[in-house]
Amino acid sequence: MEFSVVKERRARATLEMTPVIRVCQRCGTEIPADAPEGGCPGCLLETALDAASRQMVFGRYTLTKVLGRGGMGIVWLAHDEELERDVALKFLPDLMIQERALLDQLKRETKRCLELTHPHIVRIHDFVHDERSGCISMEYVNGETLSNLRAEKEHRVFEPHEIAVWLAQLCEALDYAHNRAKVIHRDLKSANLMVNQRGDLKITDFGIARSLADPATRLTSQKGRSGTLVYMSPQQLNGEHGTHLDDIYSLGATIYELLTSKPPFYSGNIDRQICERVAPSMTERRKELDIEPASVPKIWEEVTAACLAKDLSRRPQSAVEVAQRLQLPSAQTRTSLTPLKISAHTRQRFRKNRLLFYRSKIEARKRPMPTLRRESRTRF
């Protein structure tokens, strides 16, 4: 009798020591153990943001919903009451508002980019600010970034034929900016490439990327460098004067990432590798990551490697040359691959995996608790 009582007490003590897995009833995600009772951090933030919606800012923009959050702050979908159109408002971090030099630089770059009018470049409308906050008003693109779309693909990679039309549109937009508008991007990467619901690609942050770069992922102030490290050319890394050939290098790094899931150099001493090492071929990288099929067409290997050349003279001298050498289709070609089609497959797979995950959690909690042996106890 006494033994059963002791056994019951031990089982009860074990149950009390077992961490309780809390799942948010609203979004289905696991609530961290250190979160306040009943508080899902993500949903609490969403609630606060919902409360901020429908407010008017700067006397003309009515906030609608949050489009994204990151190191650079929040991007809102808003309605411009003066021009009666939806826009994306990219709010600036407090640090930029407080530093006059950064603010003036952004003003100059934004003013210069107001003249960028191309179907595959996100149009910048205005730059507004006061003593407390500021934002850039730009064209609203209902779609996804290439970075997010790649992450939703099987093996997290695209195949060359899937991105050919997008690259044709990208090269056309780069050529327009480099040769007609005389503007370089400085931070070209898959996260700055949007695909709308029609399947058309658009470049974001053109010409203002240097000012808007996330402090956690960019290099600035040191030797005048700017850009996201893993996409930067050796010349950018060394703080040399920026040219359109830096964008050509970043274009190559972006193609490499889209086809292999990783940038050319992504671990270890990245600075040194960018300046000294030659990246493995995309076929080799896909083999390393067990991606099938591993083989990448020879012409894609050659052109991407040329874009990543350390020597400026060995790179393609224009985005048009890249498109011609890759034998890309016309930029006006319609693609059958859209964010909606990719996401539909992903949502179905995610729902199935999430159901299996939480079912396993429930089954685990239903199992009888094992009795503890004295030697298995741990003191803290």
- Alpha-helix residue ranges (DSSP H) falling in 213-281: 234-237, 244-260, 270-276
* Distance in angstroms (rounded) separating the CA atoms of residues 355 and 367: 19
- Residue 101 in tokens: 């030099």
Provide the Cα torsion 59, 65, 71, 73; round to 10°: 10
Contact 328, 171 (CB under 8 A): yes
214 given a catalytic annotation: no
Cβ atoms of 123 and 117 closer than 8 Å: yes
**Closest to 279 measured CA to CA, from 305, 259, 298:** 305
280 three-class SS: coil
> Cα–Cα distances in Å, from 15 out to 37, 141, 360, 375?
19, 51, 18, 18
Per-residue tokens: 5? 């009582």
Active-site residue (options: 126, 175, 187, 246): 187
Helix intervals (H) in the chain: 2-17, 41-52, 94-98, 100-113, 146-151, 160-175, 209-212, 234-237, 244-260, 270-276, 282-288, 298-307, 319-326, 339-366
Which residues are designated catalytic? 187
